[in-house]
Amino acid sequence: MEELIVSVVELKGSYASLGLKQSEEIKSSRLFEQLDLLQTLSTNSNSAKAQEILKTVSPGILEELKGIANGLEMELDLIVKFYSGYDVSFPPMGCTTFVNDDYYVRNYDFSPELYDARLVFCNPTDGYASVGFSHSVIGRLDGMNERGLVVGLHFVNNHDNEEGFIATTIVRMLLDQCGCIKEAVDLISNIPHGYCYNYSITDPSGVGVVVEASPQKQVIRFGNSLACTNHFESETLQEKNRREIQGSLKRNEYVRSLIKKKLSPISLYTNFNDGNSPLFFKYYKEYFGTLHTVVYSPKDLFLTIGVGENCEPIMISFKDYLNGTFTLPSVIKGKININ
């Protein structure tokens, strides 16, 4: 077993100041080691096109990227290529989500080598405050904002790609700019998608939504209780699934069985985080190992978090944090078995 440490990061102020603060973090942490990898993944990225789209779709994120560029004393074109998530390549990843009237429960499965290991509490002057796990600094793997909107991503396929943004950037855009499901669905249809991903979304209404998004088309599935894994279910998009989706289908079936049991948040957390659970994976060298488990509660803005396997859950009130009455831990620690 190896220790996995997730840093808890606080960001507040203008988007430019958020970028500047994160540039200092990049220079002083393992994130700096990712620059060579990001350069490889973004070889074909069109920085000028990305900036043009961001000016319209998400000007705040563009300002944040400018702040990072200023802090690192690097050209904006390079920073946009590295961190905007526009037209970049990325290995497959796995994710499993359960959504019911009150809770959103999720495992994120990937490799620790490409994991930011950051839980970011972000409060931009011109956007909604949010909490979520980051990817490539500005992106989010999943998160919840101050209005109780919860969003997470699920990789489906990277073969049928076009010029567009990777899902982690899109999740961040939704958290920053959308106060409810309707706004999120409206915005996601106006963003160019680079790859095939599912987006699982809920808010305090208790409604759940899965947006099946390909570069060519998006299909929306509503329901009060939903399971979401790594394949498209709609007939019109099933042809875009990978050839082998049996694992995704089995996880989906298991989550649907949990929906019927009406479990408590802690019971749901345990079902996802237990090292022997059919939802917990240890194939870290194959980019399919469970890195974090999180339960988002949109009605009361509460989080239950675990890092790695069989982690004692950390409870955080996002509402109390925003009110200044909750002190965050500096790190969250857990164990993973990478043998």
Q: Considering the domain boundaries, does residue 6 fall inside one?
A: no
| 104: containing domain | 94-336
Domain-ending residue, one of 58, 83, 108: 83
- Please count the structural domains in the chain: 2
Degrees, nearest 5: CA angle 232-183-188:
40
31 confidence band (pLDDT: 50, 70, 90) = confident
Mean pLDDT, to the nearest integer, of 221-228?
92
Mean model confidence pLDDT for the chain:
95
Asked whether residue 43 carries a pLDDT value surpassing 80, the answer given is no
Same domain for 78 and 120: no
Same domain for 142 and 29: no
Please tell me the predicted confidence (pLDDT) of residue 278.
96
Distance, first Cα to last Cα, the chain: 8
**DSSP calls for 13-45:** E-HHHHHHHHHHHHHTSGGGGGHHHHHHHTTT-
CA distance 81 to 245: 31
Asked whether residue 37 carries a pLDDT value surpassing 80, the answer given is no
Q: Considering the domain boundaries, does residue 128 fall inside one?
A: yes
Indicate if the alpha-carbon torsion angle 260, 292, 175, 190 is positive or negative: negative
Please tell me the predicted confidence (pLDDT) of residue 36.
78
Mean pLDDT, to the nearest integer, of 176-200?
97
Same domain for 250 and 116: yes
**DSSP calls for 255-270:** HHHHHHHT--HHHHHH
* 296 Cα distance to chain centroid: 13
Same domain for 233 and 103: yes
For residue 15, the tally of other CB atoms under 10 A from its CB is: 25
CB 295 within 8 A of CB 306: no
Same domain for 327 and 284: yes
Domain-ending residue, one of 25, 48, 83: 83
Same domain for 161 and 30: no
Q: Considering the domain boundaries, does residue 2 fall inside one?
A: no
Q: What is the largest CA-CA distance in the chain?
A: 54
Domain-ending residue, one of 83, 105, 136: 83
What predicted TM-score, i.e. pTM, was given to this entire model? 0.96
Residue predicted with more confidence, 44 or 292: 292
Please tell me the predicted confidence (pLDDT) of residue 35.
79
CB 140 within 8 A of CB 175: yes
Q: Considering the domain boundaries, does residue 160 fall inside one?
A: yes
Please tell me the predicted confidence (pLDDT) of residue 231.
97
